[in-house]
Amino acid sequence: MKTVIAVEGVSKSYHLDHTKVRALQDLNMTIAEGEFTALAGPSGSGKTTLLNIIGCIDKPDSGRLVLDGVDVTERSLNSLAGMRRERLGYIFQSFNLIPILNAYENVEYPLLLTRMSGSERRRRVHDLLERVGLADKRRHKPGQLSGGERQRVAIARALVSGPSAVLADEPTANLDSVTSGEILDLMDELNRERGVVFLFSTHDPRIMAKARRVVRLLDGKISEDSGAQAAAQAELASFRQTGR
């Protein structure tokens, strides 16, 4: 499987008043094409920092980040705008929709930054709004939508440019449990349909249960990786079968 995200020896520290906080410590992780992965861990474990670095909206102090085979570590954040525009999508805890734009316009926004034709733009936005079940509410502004509907718009917006990976920081934290389940199911379906990586942070065990891989962070390090365990088990099984 093609590696979409490769994090190699990444460290990141913050200064909180006079205290140095080590958010990430020599962290290594790879995400392959089509993964549906949860980043789990308590508050301050480094989930958001890791998502920000992978999302090219923050820079590591050391280490490398490779996206779709492109080493983006040394690039400035401004020069990474193109990478964010074309290869990444974001879903935020508070939805972060533009209040003056309606659902259609919010989904359309990332495409306005590209050279895509108007007809193709309309087709994509229409298809995605249809897919997330909001075609009939495309003229509604965020204030006229429920929390779940807003997050559906945000999901459509994250996918509209056809990214390699969608990064979601606590996407269900502001939603009730039923809606959270629905949103996770939608993300899961879209991941299977489109093969897009979904990497999301959460500390809700019910949400984690739906992820196909869970990476647990603690104090800026990976404390547990179900994907690594599965890979080790697969390797062990392969070894037993082949005797090598």
Partner 1 sequence: MLKLSWIAFKNIFRNKRRTLITFSVIIFGSTALLVAGGFIRYMFDGLANMTIRGGLGHLQLVHQDQLHKEEEKPLQYGLEDAGKIAGIVSGMEGVLGTTARIDFMGLLSNGDKSVIFLGTGLEPEKERALGYENEVVSGSSLTSEGGRFQVMLATGLARSLKSNVGDTLTLMSTTSEGVLNAVDVYVVGIFSTGITEYDERALRVPLGIAKNLLATEKVSKLVVGLRQTSDTDRLHDLLAARLSSAGYPLEIRRWYEMATFYQGVVRMFGAIFRILGTIIFVLVVLSSSNTMLMAVLERVREIGTLMAFGTTRLKILAIFVIEGVFIGVLGGALGSAAGLLTIKLMNRAHLMMPTPPGNTRPFLIIIPVVPGIFVGVFLLMIATMIVAGFLPAMRASRLKIVDALNHI
Site string for partner 1, 57-86 (x = CB under 8 A): xx------------------xx--xxxxxx
Closest alpha carbon to 25 in 78, 62, 52, 68: 62
In the chain, the amino acid numbered 161 is S
Q: Which member of 32, 101, 228, 231 binds partner 1 (CB under 8 A)?
A: 101
Q: Which member of 100, 209, 230, 234 binds partner 1 (CB under 8 A)?
A: 100
> How many residues in the chain?
244
The angle at the Cα of 96, spanning 84 to 108, to the nearest 5 degrees, equals 60
Q: Does 109 bind partner 1 (CB under 8 A)?
A: yes
Q: Does 99 bind partner 1 (CB under 8 A)?
A: yes
Instruction: Provide the minimum distance between the beta carbon of 110 and partner 1 in the complex, in angstroms, as a whole number.
Output: 5
The angle at the Cα of 20, spanning 14 to 22, to the nearest 5 degrees, equals 65
How distant is the alpha carbon of residue 232 from its chain centre?
A: 25
Site string for partner 1, 23-52 (x = CB under 8 A): -----------------------------x
Nearer to partner 1, 100 or 232 (CB): 100
Q: Cβ contacts of residue 49 below 8 Å, gap of 6+? A: 12, 23, 24, 58, 220
Nearer to partner 1, 162 or 209 (CB): 162
Q: Considering only 24-32, 92-100, 180-188, 199-207, which stretch makes contact with partner 1 by CB under 8 A?
A: 92-100
Token pair listed for 151: 């997050």
Instruction: Provide the minimum distance between the beta carbon of 241 and partner 1 in the complex, in angstroms, as a whole number.
Output: 45
Residue with tokens 């099984």: 237
Q: Which member of 7, 10, 41, 90 binds partner 1 (CB under 8 A)?
A: 90
Q: Does 198 bind partner 1 (CB under 8 A)?
A: no
- Angstrom distance (rounded) from CA 65 to CA 71: 6
Strand intervals (E) in 61-163: 62-67, 70-71, 88-91
**Binding stretches for partner 1 (CB under 8 A):** 52, 55, 57-58, 77-78, 81-86, 90, 92, 94, 96, 98-101, 109-110, 112-113, 157
